[in-house]
Structure 1
Amino acid sequence: MPHANREDVMARRARQRWMGVLARASVEELERHLPEPLPEGGYSLLRRPETGSVMLRGRAGGTGERFNLGEATLTRCTLRLADGTIGFGYVMGRRPRHAELAALFDALLQQPERRDSLMDSVIEPLARRQEERRQAITARAASSKVDFFTMVRESTAGDAGA
């Protein structure tokens, strides 16, 4: 990003974060947080929600050569608010309503007069709940973890001289 200034980088990271939060939220959570009323003139769909496949790629050790891991189902949607703001929604699975809501929130979050309010009332609470769920899953998994390096090897009579 040699030509991107710091503000552009920060704005891009903020948008990536909220799009991730929106993609991980449930449809019910997004429906509950829909602003009332919607922006004047509503929105029009530029690309109706459509489902397809994407190739997932990985790297051995996170830094090695890339390899194709497999395919996943993804639904995407693009819409335009009456003021011309364009929003995008990408969600895993076959969830057209989820993709449409994610695109709507993406467009609304791009509007400076709405951003702070939506970040405080929608994105941050959703992000906290998602982190709490992630920590609960991690804790459950950690409770069943076996640390093989701390296990003591049983010695037998035959091993005494070894």
Structure 2
Amino acid sequence: MSNLAQRQAWMAILAKASLEQLQEKMKRLEPWPEYSFLRPPEIGLTKVRGRSGGTGEIFHLGEMTLTRCVIKLDYEPMITGFGYVGGRSHLHAELAALADALMQHDDWCERVQKIVIEPLQAEAIRQQEIKRSQTASTQVNFFTLVRGE
């Protein structure tokens, strides 16, 4: 997996985790290094697009609220972290940006991977499995009886 693909994967995990989960995991990393905002958390809107049937024509589905944040670790060379999360949580975006920056720092990467990223990913997979099993239990199989003539 390329560095870009790895970063996209961990940023997705951070964005999709609940704020409570992310806070709990990030507390285990304290004390954090000093950092400053390049772009403080701010709320905006983004377009959401979809595809008919998942593969057809792209269409405008609507808009959703998004919070973004960019931080800079007080290290040399400069390392920046980005946090983009759905909703209006300034803290979630800030913590996601901090985790992103720490994942790019050699001294922090392994700790953040073990303490934050892997547990959040495991929890996301567990939640997907629960949802799949709940959905499967309500599945109805329809069949047609042919009248004998």
Question: TM-score if structure 1 supplies the norm length?
Answer: 0.83
Q: Does 1:23 align with 2:15?
A: yes
Q: Return the match for 1:131 from 102, 125, 136.
A: 125
Query: Do the aligned partners of residues 152 and 64 (structure 1) sit closer, same or farther apart at CA in structure 2, a change above 3 Å counting?
Result: closer
Deviation at 1:61, TM superposition (A): 3.4
Match of 1:145 in 2: 139
Query: Residues 5-29 of structure 1: CA distance to partner in whole angstroms, max 9, x if unpaired?
Result: xxxx610111011101101112222
Q: For 1:66-145, list aligned pairs within 5 A.
A: 66-83=58-75, 84-145=78-139
Which structure has more relative contact order (CA 8 Å, sep 6+)? It is 2
Deviation at 1:117, TM superposition (A): 2.0
Secondary structure of residue in 1 paired with 2:12: helix
Q: Does 1:49 align with 2:37?
A: no
Deviation at 1:63, TM superposition (A): 3.1
Q: Which runs of 5+ in 2 are unaligned?
A: none
Secondary structure of residue in 1 paired with 2:2: helix
Counterparts of 1:145 and 1:120 in 2: how far apart (Å)? Answer: 37
User: What's the Cα RMSD here?
Assistant: 1.5
**Across the two proteins, how many residue pairs are aligned to each other?**
145
Query: Do the aligned partners of residues 152 and 62 (structure 1) sit closer, same or farther apart at CA in structure 2, a change above 3 Å counting?
Result: closer
Deviation at 1:91, TM superposition (A): 0.5
Query: Residues 106-161 of structure 1: CA distance to partner in whole angstroms, max 9, x if unpaired?
Result: 0000112211221122101110011101110111011001122xx242x5xxx432
Query: Residues 24-78 of structure 1: CA distance to partner in whole angstroms, max 9, x if unpaired?
Result: 1122222222212111xx1111111111111111122333221111111111111
- Aligned identity (percent) is 45
* AA matched with 2:108: R
Secondary structure of residue in 2 paired with 1:53: strand
Counterparts of 1:25 and 1:125 in 2: how far apart (Å)? Answer: 10
